[in-house]
Amino acid sequence: MATTPIQIHTSDEAPPKPGDTYVQSFARGLEVIRSFSARAPRQTLSEVAAASGLTRAGARRILLTLQTLGYVESDGKHFALTPRILDLGFAYLSSMPIWNRAEPVMEALVQEVQESCSAAVLDATDIIYVMRVPTHKIMSISLGVGSRLPAYCTSMGRLLLAELGDDELRARLEASAPQPLTKHTVTDIDALLAKVAQARRQRWCLVNQELEEGLVSIAAPIVNRAGRAVAALNISGQANRTSAKVMQDTMLPALLEAARKISRML
């Protein structure tokens, strides 16, 4: 579903604007939630205020609200999120039953190729993981559902960027501010445009050690009935075990078939 301006406003009620108090209070509450992380699992009032750009009074009001609602707990000095927060993301995932139905297909693919398989969708300049079936090998990066990665340097990201129109695509790539994450990372906008165009033509995408040294991944599109890639499926592995060539020659057909199976469920 594309994000288009909706048409249901009546003349007596204007749509909320980013400056509205109502929008702002909600946005700030969500910013406070997002200020908690692996680096800051427990924060004082001052830390939350600093991390979310609020005054101490503003941060306190939001924290106490979140505490009243059971989303934050406190020992009197430190604040931490409660697991109730998971309900919100779970509302999204359970509203997308496709991923539960896709899981067995992904499991079978992992069994066949003995590499991890993930599914992701595009959000602005990032991909967000919506399902992951790991192999039982130790991975160098740990990615769970909800993890974000930049789209420009990932196989699923480039395939999903390929759905955008030319102007929007260039704008997203520029907004990504590409960084040389490894010595292989393509950062030049025109070179990235060419990579995305290639992904669009061939309907799959391989990225070789551009996100992290030693990490290779290959992606195929999950396509809705209108022929639009709404998500991507990938296999990722270690280059020293599975070269890009081996991945393309031996695993791509199984990946494309799995992506087609999942697409037919949409």
**138 binding a copy of itself? (CB under 8 A):** yes
**In the complex, minimum distance from the CB of residue 259 to a copy of itself, in angstroms, rounded to a whole number:** 18
**Closer by beta carbon to a copy of itself, 172 or else 195:** 172
**In the complex, minimum distance from the CB of residue 40 to a copy of itself, in angstroms, rounded to a whole number:** 7
Positive/negative CA dihedral, 207, 225, 120, 111: negative
Encoded tokens for 235: 């296999």
**Closer by beta carbon to a copy of itself, 147 or else 243:** 147
How far apart CA 74 and CA 115 sit, in angstroms, is: 41
**In the complex, minimum distance from the CB of residue 19 to a copy of itself, in angstroms, rounded to a whole number:** 10
**Closer by beta carbon to a copy of itself, 128 or else 199:** 128
**162 binding a copy of itself? (CB under 8 A):** no
**86 binding a copy of itself? (CB under 8 A):** yes
β-partners of residue 236 are: 116, 217
User: Binders of a copy of itself among 53-82, rule CB under 8 A?
Assistant: 57, 60-61, 64-71, 73-78, 80-82
**In the complex, minimum distance from the CB of residue 95 to a copy of itself, in angstroms, rounded to a whole number:** 4
The residue within the footprint of a copy of itself, chosen from 22, 140, 167, 201 (CB under 8 A), is: 22
**140 binding a copy of itself? (CB under 8 A):** no
How do beta strands 229-238 and 116-123 pair? antiparallel
- Rounded to a whole number of angstroms, the CA Rg of the chain reads 21
The residue within the footprint of a copy of itself, chosen from 53, 94, 249, 253 (CB under 8 A), is: 94
Q: Give the contacts of 47 (CB within 8 A, at least 6 positions apart).
A: 40
**203 binding a copy of itself? (CB under 8 A):** no
How far apart CA 34 and CA 26 sit, in angstroms, is: 12
Please identify, among the stretches 7-15, 189-197, 212-220, 247-255, the one whose residues bind a copy of itself according to the rule CB under 8 A.
7-15
How far apart CA 43 and CA 141 sit, in angstroms, is: 26
How far apart CA 175 and CA 205 sit, in angstroms, is: 21
How far apart CA 76 and CA 30 sit, in angstroms, is: 22
How far apart CA 86 and CA 156 sit, in angstroms, is: 25
Per rule CB under 8 A, count of chain residues that contact a copy of itself: 83
**15 binding a copy of itself? (CB under 8 A):** yes
